[in-house]
Amino acid sequence: MKPTFTGGSLCFKGDTKAKKKKRKSKHDFQEEKNAK
């Protein structure tokens, strides 16, 4: 997944769950790490 800038913050495409929560859970954080 390519990182994209939206609203001045770095987030991944299709990462709507984290956006809605605005707070990242450990699982989401781990997934982002694996996506790199």
Give this prediction's pTM. 0.26
SS3 23: coil
Tokens of 17: 């769950």
- The Cα 6–Cα 20 span in angstroms is 14
**Tens digits of per-residue pLDDT, 1-36?**
565 555 555 555 556 655 565 565 677 777 777 776
Query: For residue 30, what pLDDT is reported?
Result: 75
Q: Which two tokens stand for residue 11?
A: 């987030």
Q: Strands 9-12, 3-6: parallel, antiparallel or unpaired by DSSP?
A: antiparallel
Domain residue ranges of the chain, discontinuous segments joined by +: 3-35
Residue 5 and residue 18: Cα distance in Å, rounded? 14
How open is the CA angle 21-23-18, to the nearest 5 degrees? Answer: 50
